[in-house]
Amino acid sequence: MKLSHEQVRHIAWLARLGLSEEDVEKFSLQLSNILENIEILRQVDTTGVPPATHSITLRNVFRKDDVVDSYSQTQILSNAPEQEENCFKVQPILE
C-alpha cells in the first residue's frame, strides 16, 4: 500500500493537522512502509471472529447518580489560551 501525497494531505485534513510539504513527503514514505508491515494481518483467517473492543468484558457499568462537587469556572478556565467573560474564546465559526 503506497500512500500518495494527495492521500497524505487528505488524511491530514481529516485529522485537522497542518503539514509542511516536507512532512507530506516524509509521511508518504514512512506511512507506506508501516502499512506494508501491517499487510501481514491479511494472512490471518478471521472468518466469524468477533472484534475485541476491550480486553475485559464489562457490560452496563452503572453508578449511583450522586451529587458531588465539581470544578469551578475559574479552575476549568485556568488553562485556556484565550478567554473572555468566563468563556473559552474561539475564532468566529459563522462568516
Partner 1 sequence: MQATELHQLTIHEAHELLKQRKTSSLELTKSVLKRINDVEGRVRACVTIAEDIALKEADKVDAYMRAGHEITPLTGIPALIKDVICTKGIKTTCSSKMLQNFVPPYDATVIEKLNAQKAVIVGKTNMDEFAMGSSTEHSAFFATHNPWDLSRVPGGSSGGSAVAVSTDEAIYALGSDTGGSIRQPAGFCSVVALRPTYGRVSRFGLLAFASSLDQIGPMTKDVTDCALVMNAIAGHDPRDSTSVPHPVPDYAQHLVPDIKGLKIGIPGEYLVEGMQTEVRAALERAVDKLQELGAEVDWGVSLPHTKYALAAYYIIAPSEASANLARYDGVKYGFSAGNASNVIQATERTRQFGFGPEVKRRIMLGTYALSAGYYDAYYVKAQQVRTLIKQEFDQVLQRYDALVTPTSPTVPFKLGEKLEDPMQMYLSDICTLPISIAGIPAISIPAGFADNLPIGMQIIGKPFSEGVLLRIAFAYEQATDWHSRKPPLS
Site residues, partner 1 (CB under 8 A): 3, 7-8, 11-12, 14-20, 23, 27, 30-31, 33-35, 37-44, 46, 49-56, 58, 61, 63, 71, 75-76, 78-82, 88-93
How many whole angstroms separate alpha carbon 8 and alpha carbon 12? 6
The grid cell for 32 is 507506506
Q: Which is nearer to partner 1, 20 or 86 (CB)?
A: 20
Closest separation in Å from C-beta 23 to partner 1: 7
DSSP 88: E
Q: Which is nearer to partner 1, 79 or 86 (CB)?
A: 79
- Would you say 3 and 28 are in contact if contact means Cβ atoms under 8 Å apart? yes
How many whole angstroms separate alpha carbon 86 and alpha carbon 72? 11
Closest separation in Å from C-beta 48 to partner 1: 9
The grid cell for 91 is 475564532
Q: Which is nearer to partner 1, 67 or 93 (CB)?
A: 93
